[in-house]
Amino acid sequence: MTQPVPIRRAPGPRPRLLDLYCCQGGAAKGYAEAGFEVTGVDIAPQPLYPYRFVQADAVQYLLAHGGEFDFVHASPPCQRYSRTQKIQHRAHPDLIAPTRAALETAGRPWVIENVEEAASQLRDPVTMCAAAFGMRTYRHRLFETRGFTITPPQHPAHLAPLTKMGRPRAAGHFAHYVGNFSGVQEARDDMGVPWMTRDGIRECIPPAYTQWIGTAALQALAVLGVAA
């Protein structure tokens, strides 16, 4: 592993964040609200991404440009680890390990995000749940960090039942925003992603998660002398 390189002392008012595998920008919105200048990278076009976007291979872009940023978020595609993959037996690449290796080369503080089924591939991850942020859904996501630590909000008990996938959310129930779920506008409102399509919502990180993470990251960057 290469040694971390010195953190850039940003001349601008906001530290720069690189959002890898950005999709439609759920994570990006939270980081922007925390105080970062965000650039997203994805191998597929993302016309709905609300910030600066570069279409490129995430790992290759990180290796070439990682030193230009103060902090990196990476959300390698979760299909390899998801329950759907186990049912359908489709082949998907393992991108967590090569992404981590590239992050170590870049030497910046980072977070790697993925689904619960990827727990064995992540190092000491913490779990975040949508219900802890007042949403009417349970969306567990794991976060591995380096260069700073995060303490997630208290994880509430899952007391509300989940409405079955594809049906409108029943009174007193929580929604399950996966597959061909019902209630796209409700999901947008609930998760704080008003620009997203159903496809984006199915996989997105609620911005509340990354605003929480971004606040902790900014505190760590301030200690390192990066402008905030």
Which segments of the chain have a pLDDT < 50?
1-10, 86-87, 89, 228
Residue that is written with structure tokens 């960057």 in the block:
221
What is the per-residue pLDDT for 82? Answer: 56
What is the per-residue pLDDT for 146? Answer: 97
**Distance separating alpha carbons of residues 187 and 200, to the nearest angstrom:** 11
Which pairing describes strands 71-74 and 37-42: parallel, antiparallel, or unpaired?
unpaired
What is the per-residue pLDDT for 166? Answer: 83
What is the per-residue pLDDT for 6? Answer: 43
Q: What is the CATH number of domain 16-152+204-224?
A: 3.40.50.150
What is the per-residue pLDDT for 165? Answer: 82
- Backbone dihedral region of 176: left (phi > 0), alpha (psi from -120 to 50 degrees) or beta? beta
What is the per-residue pLDDT for 7? Answer: 44
Domain ranges of the chain: 16-152+204-224
pTM of the model: 0.89
What is the per-residue pLDDT for 167? Answer: 87
